[in-house]
Amino acid sequence: MRIFKALMLAAGLSFSAAAAHAADTVRVSLFSWPGYGFWFIAQEKNLVPDLDLEITIIEDPYESFSLMSAGALDVTSSTAEYGPIAADKDVPVKLVTYTNPSYGTDKIVLAPGVNGAEDLKGESVAVLEGGLTQIFMGIWLEQNGVSIKDVQFTNLIMDDAVGALVGGNVKAAEFWEPFGSQALDALPGATVAASSAEGDWIETALLGDGMYMSDAFLEDKPELAAKTMEAYFKAVAFWKENPEEGNKIIAKGLNFPVADVEKVIGKNGEILKGGIWVFDAEQAGKFMGVIPGELPLGPQNGQMAQHWATTTDWWLKFGLIDERHPIDAGVNTAPLETVLAP
């Protein structure tokens, strides 16, 4: 009997090991921001059991794109403007879905003594070059009569931009939360010149985030790509139903205070004015033009096409791309279509 039990135990262990071994590994990156933290929920709650998410925090999104090009990374979450650059530079990476518009999390903060755009002529301003922060700053400058050629754009990640503004090395910076609040708290007299909660930013959804996958991952493992996106949107659904628990998981994954997570995504699983609007799968599908239907707050069905056109205009203006490309050169909605299939 003991031998039989031992054999059964060994067989059970072998089966368990094989089952665990059968999980598909997907290499995911994000930078330290709560809007990307849903990957930690998917991982901790094991929302797609046969998926093994290896999550790495990489603060520079361009490093993630380079790793994807080199075959060392499959998926990254980042701001949603990289597609035209990838298409222009033949980078084998595609935007596969838009995930959230900014609804106040993005701010342009001016140093004490700077009263407006005119005071920034000849000065340095901090942005993430090649990111939507640069476009936001460019639009605000031009709306206030200052050419982008009249300022010096300094490429800094968020932590470094806070230090540069507080230290007086730049006279303005674009931040998303919680970094904007950190800068304002650390620098008495600093002011907010513009916010994505104002004007038509939520209607255009120009400032927002997305999910990218490498061409190799999309082409060689299409089912796994769809399964990975499914895990992400299951995490969003979990968070909407369990925001307190979800926020704690995100905070732990990022090593952030829960309060900083709440500044970005809120406490109740709903749209947060002053933060972001987290899309569920159907909202993402409407934004990308994959399924019919209207969105609240103004974005149109298929709004991604206008997003592509606007970011292309600005990358041409900044000299980061050489020519226009069709949207399908940088966007692949196949995983989203699979997730949304009846």
**pLDDT tens-place string over residues 114-162:** 999 999 999 999 999 999 999 999 999 999 999 999 999 999 999 999 9
Contact 128, 157 (CB under 8 A): yes
pLDDT, residue 21, reads 52
pLDDT, residue 9, reads 40
Sheet holding 208-214, edge to edge: 51-57, 24-30, 75-79, 208-214, 93-103, 275-276
At 327, the amino acid letter reads I
Structure tokens, 98? 């838009």
Contact 280, 293 (CB under 8 A): no
Instruction: Please provide the size of the chain in residues.
Output: 342
Structure tokens, 240? 């909407």
pLDDT, residue 55, reads 98
Give whole-number Cα distances, 227 to 35, 36, 103, in Å. 20, 18, 29
At 198, the amino acid letter reads E
Question: In sequence order, what are the residues at sequence separation of 6 or more whose Cβ sits closer than 8 angstroms to the Cβ of residue 90?
Answer: none
Instruction: Give the whole-angstrom CA distance, residue 325 versus residue 314.
Output: 13
For Cα atoms 183, 189, 194, give the angle at the middle one, nearest 5 degrees.
65
Is the fold of 24-101+207-340 the same as that of 106-195? yes
Instruction: Give the whole-angstrom CA distance, residue 74 versus residue 55.
Output: 11
SS3 95: strand
Could you tell me the residue ranges of all domains in the chain? 24-101+207-340, 106-195
Residue ranges for the chain with pLDDT beneath 50: 1-20
Is CATH 3.30.360.10 correct for 106-195? Answer: no
b (16+ CB within 10 A) / e for 203-213? ebbbbbbbbbb
pLDDT, residue 22, reads 77
Chain centroid, CA 243 distance in Å: 19
Contact 65, 76 (CB under 8 A): yes
pLDDT, residue 17, reads 44
* Crossing angle of helices 258-265 and 243-254, rounded to 10°: 120
Partners of 182 in beta bridges = none
pLDDT, residue 67, reads 98
Instruction: Give the whole-angstrom CA distance, residue 264 versus residue 12.
Output: 45
Pick the CATH number of 24-101+207-340 from 3.30.465.10, 3.20.190.10, 3.40.50.720, 3.40.190.10: 3.40.190.10
Give whole-number Cα distances, 199 to 56, 154, 205, 256, 271, in Å. 35, 26, 11, 30, 17
Structure tokens, 20? 């665990």
Contact 180, 174 (CB under 8 A): no
